[in-house]
Amino acid sequence: MKNSYDIIIKPVITEKTVSMMEEGKYTFRVLKSANKFEIKNAIQDIFKVNVVNVSTMNVKGKTKRMGRSEGKTASWKKAIVTLKEGQQIEVFEGL
């Protein structure tokens, strides 16, 4: 069984995600094999909040060039978690 701290890798902090936090939506980078149910349980377990909705998407890696050699960044999974109205995650309060 997967540990909650293994499922949630790190938060995604961009201008768009910071503006979404005002609406109660938080964005996380998650384990590629995790499903919505596992993500919901992990967020509720770690942050002690009530999750209303979980949206997931697979982000494809981009092709990058360094001179003549070409490589690719890793693909990853993103989860947008909507919390119950009036709740927030304290980790993001300083933003």
**Structural domains of the chain in order of their starting residue, each with its CATH number:** 4-85 (3.30.70.330)
pTM above 0.85, yes or no: yes
**Nearest alpha carbon to residue 81 among 2, 20, 6, 34:** 20
- CA-wise closest residue to 33 among 88, 82, 77: 77
Amino acid at 84: K
Q: Per-residue pLDDT tens, the chain, 95 aa: give them.
A: 689 999 999 999 999 999 999 999 999 999 999 999 999 999 999 999 999 999 999 999 999 999 999 999 999 999 999 999 999 998 665 55
